[in-house]
Amino acid sequence: MKLFRRSYSSGSINSRQGIPEEQNRRLFILGIIVVLCFLLYILRLFLMQIVLGSHYRDRAQGIAQKTKIISARRGEIYDRNADVPLVVNTESFAVDVTPGEIPREKYDTVTLKLAQMLDVSKESIDRKIQQYGKRSFSNVEIKTDVPMEVVFNIAENSTDLPGISWRSKPLRTYVTNSYSMSHIIGYTGDITKEELKTLYNKGYKQNNVVGQTGVEKEYDKILRGTDGVQSKIVDAKGKTLVDESIIKVPDMGKNLVLTIDSRIQELAEKALGERLGAVVVLRPCNGEILAMVSYPYFNPNDFNGADGYHNFIQVRNDPRKPLYNRAINASYPPASTFKVIMTTAVLAEEAVSPLKKIECKGTMTYGTRTSKCHIYPGAHGKLDLKNGLAQSCNVYFWTVGTEYLGVEKISNYAREFGFGQLTNIDIPGQDAGFIPSASWKERRYHEKWLGGDTMNMSIGQGFTRASPLQVADMMAMVCNSGVIYNPHVVKEIRDSITNEVIEEIKPKVLYKSDIKPEVWAEVRQDLRYTITDGSARNALKNKVVKMAGKTGTGEVQGIKDSWHSWLVCYAPYDAPVEEQIVVCVLAECVEHEWEWWAPYCTNIIMQGIYANQTCEQAMKSLGLGWKMKHVGRQE
């Protein structure tokens, strides 16, 4: 027992002796950890305050700043001479509400008073605010184009209108007296939620103004400039803490100089009159559009202000489709203008001798179907290629189409002229049109291509569709001996401050053919003969300039005795291509007395251009005074 106690007592003494050593070791380790943590904290503070100090200061400042976008002025738009402004900016104001800055007990009082000042309903203000919430500190735009006196009234009552502010918002103003350029220039509007989702990553913000159609849309990034920013110091709830603000001045957008000649545009507009249709005037040597008219047009200024949306809905619902750009939308059968392609195909393929005469008896029977030529019950008699084109004989082209060319060759040549393909003009909304083929018909209708389909195609009818711009490009290829240049309506981009040319739009080849030059020369001769001795000789008599071209009369499906009137031509016939212009006119659904309006309209435009005359002067010179009553006529 004693031995046991001695042993136990001895173990206790050893244990007590080891405790100080263990404690010292633990204290030493703990001290090292504390020192290391302290050093790490010092190092972290050093990195945050010295090495990364500027980064965190910027972040802290950003969190404490409330920014408001200052809209940049859009660039202005001019005609080709850069001296006639077509679109400018007019000083205007917008009124915003910051819902979170309005005391809850005063919300209804403030919004009601603001509604009375702005002459809008309180409900409309409530609807806009509800999209963001009554506690939001985002700026909600309530109304644009607010008169100066209303802004003064708001300023004088600012103590009773907490959360109400105003800002400068330039108004897009279309200053031209003629709105036939509305389809070229387009219009602008406030960015929608759907547009913002798509454009947010490209720098667009809430309350931005964006182009909706025309040049305004196509060149929006260039026209819009760079927005400025106004920054204020705010607390966590967005309340302003410091009255002083930091302002970054916005940069105005670049100016655009169009290829459009204002004089020719007005001439084309008046020559077409109030007739549903389109006119295209272009330079074949470089693709510049000198004039483009689509009737009816619209006044883009009507889309501004408080009534802008209501006016837009009215225009959109107009059965005549004023927003529809007929010049670039390919929903028309090209009719006999397509015979220019047929003539080129016959010569290039050497499918049949151009001297071979084909007899027109007024009708042609193919299988069980008998079709009438356009002069039925008359007959053209025996015609060679030149006279077949000049007289626009359907029987001649039905014959060469079905017996010598065939659908595949016709389709290939039509595509070589750009039909069924985009023109790539710098205006959104263009249509590629359509060129059919045998394989397409089988896929689409599960029917075989028939000889009657080839007959229709040979005279630009049936499934074939083209736009006035495509038909103009077709004639440009003839002028250029096989080249179509990319059509465009913008000539230059200029600095809005210095007016220096930043970029000049250079000619760009769109389509190129390897057809022999002698073929093009013969086609041009045949087109000149069509004007002097063919179907257009009476309508296109002109002593000022020599023209070459082709008429067309297209059937309108579903409407009996209704026709589209076409004329496409170029002039001067005997001048270098650099001096030539192409004119294409389409008049929709004309009655008998209007059947030749496209040729008459074309003659007026050519007379006005080369004699430097107004529409009225040109009509008088051409002896068309008796038709003056038709100019401006509305059907």
pLDDT top residue among 328 and 151 = 328
Percent of the chain with pLDDT over 70: 87
- In one-letter notation, the amino acid at residue 133 is G
List pLDDT tens digits, range 256-304: 999 999 999 999 999 999 889 999 999 999 999 999 999 999 999 998 8
- Residue 241, pLDDT > 70, answer no
Instruction: Please check whether residues 69 and 177 belong to one and the same domain.
Output: yes
pLDDT at residue 631, as a whole number: 44
Instruction: Please check whether residues 200 and 294 belong to one and the same domain.
Output: no
CA pair distance 319, 314, nearest whole angstrom: 10
CA distances from 509 to 488, 521, 588 (A): 12, 20, 31
What is the CB neighbour count within 10 angstroms for residue 450? 16
Helix (H) or strand (E) holding 233: strand 228-234
37 domain residue, yes or no: no
User: What's the mean pLDDT in 187-197?
Assistant: 85
List pLDDT tens digits, range 78-95: 999 998 789 998 888 888
User: What's the mean pLDDT in 555-576?
Assistant: 84
- Residue 50, pLDDT > 80, answer no
CA pair distance 430, 423, nearest whole angstrom: 8
112 domain residue, yes or no: yes
pLDDT at residue 395, as a whole number: 95
The DSSP code sequence of 306-328 is: TTHHHHHHHHHT-TT-TT--TTT
Domain boundary among 150, 169, 188: 169
pLDDT at residue 376, as a whole number: 78
Phi, psi of 566 (to 5 degrees): -120, 150
pLDDT at residue 333, as a whole number: 94
What is the number of structural domains in the chain?
A: 3
Range of the domain at 554: 262-298+325-630
- In one-letter notation, the amino acid at residue 562 is S
The answer to whether the beta carbons of residues 383 and 357 sit under 8 Å apart is yes
Instruction: Please check whether residues 547 and 479 belong to one and the same domain.
Output: yes
Domain boundary among 123, 154, 169: 169
320 domain residue, yes or no: no
- Residue 459, pLDDT > 90, answer yes
106 domain residue, yes or no: yes
442 domain residue, yes or no: yes
Instruction: Please check whether residues 153 and 287 belong to one and the same domain.
Output: no
- In one-letter notation, the amino acid at residue 94 is A
CA pair distance 291, 280, nearest whole angstrom: 6
Instruction: Please check whether residues 99 and 197 belong to one and the same domain.
Output: no
The answer to whether the beta carbons of residues 338 and 332 sit under 8 Å apart is no
End-to-end CA distance of the chain: 134
The answer to whether the beta carbons of residues 74 and 189 sit under 8 Å apart is no
CA pair distance 33, 36, nearest whole angstrom: 5
The answer to whether the beta carbons of residues 520 and 481 sit under 8 Å apart is yes
Instruction: Please check whether residues 96 and 228 belong to one and the same domain.
Output: no
pLDDT top residue among 207 and 196 = 196
Cis, bond preceding 162 (omega within 30 deg of 0): no
Helix (H) or strand (E) holding 88: strand 85-90
Instruction: Please check whether residues 355 and 254 belong to one and the same domain.
Output: no
CA pair distance 532, 374, nearest whole angstrom: 20
pLDDT top residue among 567 and 249 = 567
CA distances from 452 to 373, 459, 540 (A): 14, 11, 33
CA distances from 548 to 283, 341, 555, 613, 627 (A): 15, 15, 24, 21, 23
Closest CA to 62 of 237, 241, 234: 234
CA distances from 61 to 69, 241, 294 (A): 17, 13, 54
Which residues, at least 6 apart from 631, have a Cβ–Cβ distance to it below 8 Å? 270, 271, 273, 615, 619
- Please report, for the domain that includes residue 97, its CATH number: 3.90.1310.10
CA pair distance 232, 64, nearest whole angstrom: 8
How many residues appear in the chain?
635
Which two tokens mark 87? 């679109």
Dihedral sign of CA atoms 621, 622, 627, 632 in order: negative
32 domain residue, yes or no: no
List pLDDT tens digits, range 353-407: 999 999 999 999 888 888 889 887 889 999 999 999 999 999 999 999 999 999 9
Which two tokens mark 66? 């409330």
Domain boundary among 145, 169, 193: 169
Q: In 480-516, where does DSSP find H-type helix?
A: none
Which two tokens mark 241? 């803490």
Instruction: Please check whether residues 334 and 201 belong to one and the same domain.
Output: no
Instruction: Please check whether residues 217 and 357 belong to one and the same domain.
Output: no
51 domain residue, yes or no: no
The DSSP code sequence of 424-442 is: --SSTT----B---HHHHH
- Please report, for the domain that includes residue 436, its CATH number: 3.40.710.10
Instruction: Please check whether residues 191 and 111 belong to one and the same domain.
Output: no
Closest CA to 114 of 130, 98, 100: 98
pTM equals: 0.83
315 domain residue, yes or no: no
The answer to whether the beta carbons of residues 519 and 527 sit under 8 Å apart is no
The answer to whether the beta carbons of residues 404 and 374 sit under 8 Å apart is no
Instruction: Please check whether residues 479 and 551 belong to one and the same domain.
Output: yes
Instruction: Please check whether residues 192 and 275 belong to one and the same domain.
Output: no
